[in-house]
Structure 1
Amino acid sequence: MKLKRPLSLFAPLVLAAALSGCAGPQVQDYAQEQPTLDLRSYLQGCLQAQGLFTDRAGRVVKRFHVRMEGRWQGEEGTLDEHFTYSDGSTQRRVWRLRHLGQGRYSGQADDVVGEARGAQAGNAFQWKYTLALPVDGRVWEVALDDWMFRMDERTVLNRSAMSKWGLHLGDVTLVFTKDEPGATTCR
Structure 2
Amino acid sequence: MRQPTRLIHRRTALTRLAVLPVAAATPFLASCAGPQVQSYAQEKPLLDLRTYFNGTLDAWGVFTDRSGQVVKRFTVVMDCSWNGDAGVLDEAFVYSDGTKQRRIWKLQAGANGSYTGRADDVVGEARGQVSGNAFRWGYTMALPVDGRVWHVDFDDWMYLMDERVMLNKATMSKWGVKLGEVTLSFTRRTPLTAKPG
TM-score above 0.5? yes
Which portions of structure 1, spanning 4 or more consecutive aligned residues, are displaced by more than 4 angstroms? none
Q: Secondary structure at the match of 2:162?
A: coil
Matched, 1:61 2:71: yes
* 1:156 matched to 2:166: yes
Picking from 101, 110, 115, the partner of 2:120 is 110
SS at match of 2:110: strand
* Structure 1 unaligned blocks of 5 or more: 1-20, 183-187
| Equivalent position amino acid for 1:63 in 2 | R
- Partners of 1:49 and 1:146 lie apart in 2 by 15
Q: 1:78 aligns with which of 77, 88, 98?
A: 88
**1:48 aligned counterpart, secondary structure:** strand
Give 1:34-183 correspondences, 5 Å limit.
34-181=44-191
After superposition, give the CA deviation of every residue in 1:81-132 in whole Å (9 maximum; x if it has no partner): 0000000000000000000110000000001000000000000000010011
Bigger-Rg structure (1/2)? 1
| Aligned partner of residue 44 in structure 2, secondary structure | coil
Q: Determine which structure has greater relative contact order: mean sequence separation of CA pairs < 8 Å that are 6+ residues apart, divided by chain length.
A: 2
TM-score (norm 2): 0.79
Cα 1:50–1:169 change in 2 (3 A) is same
d(CA) in 2 for partners of 1:22, 1:92 = 30
Residue correspondences, number: 162
The answer to whether the 8 A contact 2:126-2:138 is kept is: yes
State the identity %: 63
Length-normalised TM-score, structure 1: 0.84
Distance in 2 between residues matched to 1:178 and 1:70, nearest whole Å? 11
* Alpha-carbon distance in 2 for matches of 1:181, 1:36: 15
CA distance in 2, matches of 1:109, 1:140: 16
Partner-residue secondary structure (3-state), 1:102: helix
Aligned partners of 2:164 and 2:191 also within 8 Å? no
